[in-house]
Amino acid sequence: MRTILLLTSLLLLTGCFSSNRQVSQPLMPAPTVVGLQGDIRLLLEQQYQTWAGTPYRLGGADKRGVDCSALVQSIFTEAFDVQLPRTTSEQVAMGDVVARQALQPLDLVFFHTGPTQHVGIYLGQGEFLHASTSRGVIISKLDNPYWKRNFWTARRPVNPLQIASL
């Protein structure tokens, strides 16, 4: 009886280690961002957790529906106690212009999306947080062909060292 239990256990365990399993993406640890940038990214990720899945609604500014500039405004207020203007056209006029290769967490990234403008918050590691018209509040990659093609400019509305002193 013990032998049957042992053999059954071994068969079950070997099934867990099957070499036929295919992984669609390599399992690699995410790069670690340290220091102030890492702290800012962590706060932004926490904000994402509270907003994730909120649907897009033009003119919306709450969890029932939010547009891109209201999301940016709310996150800056809630997480960093920084007041930003309400609209994308006002937000793009704030702060210093930042080259795409010099982006840091908390920089605003702007896109021309047809007749309108779109804004998101750069998280670091090529990712930004925004309110997508089709998928609601999500994190996207700047190197996605759509976002890469429509990238317009980036701004640093506040010096990250000012955030650290709050």
Say which of 68, 70, 121, 123 is annotated catalytic: 68
118 is catalytic: yes
DSSP run (H or E) holding 86 = none
Q: Give the ranges where 17-105 is alpha helix by DSSP (H).
A: 35-51, 68-80, 88-91
Strand 96-97 to 108-113 pairing: unpaired
Say which of 118, 120, 122, 131 is annotated catalytic: 118
Say which of 106, 111, 128, 130 is annotated catalytic: 130
CA distance 75 to 17: 44
Q: What secondary structure letter does DSSP report for 63?
A: T
Q: What secondary structure letter does DSSP report for 1?
A: -
Residues forming the active site:
68, 118, 130
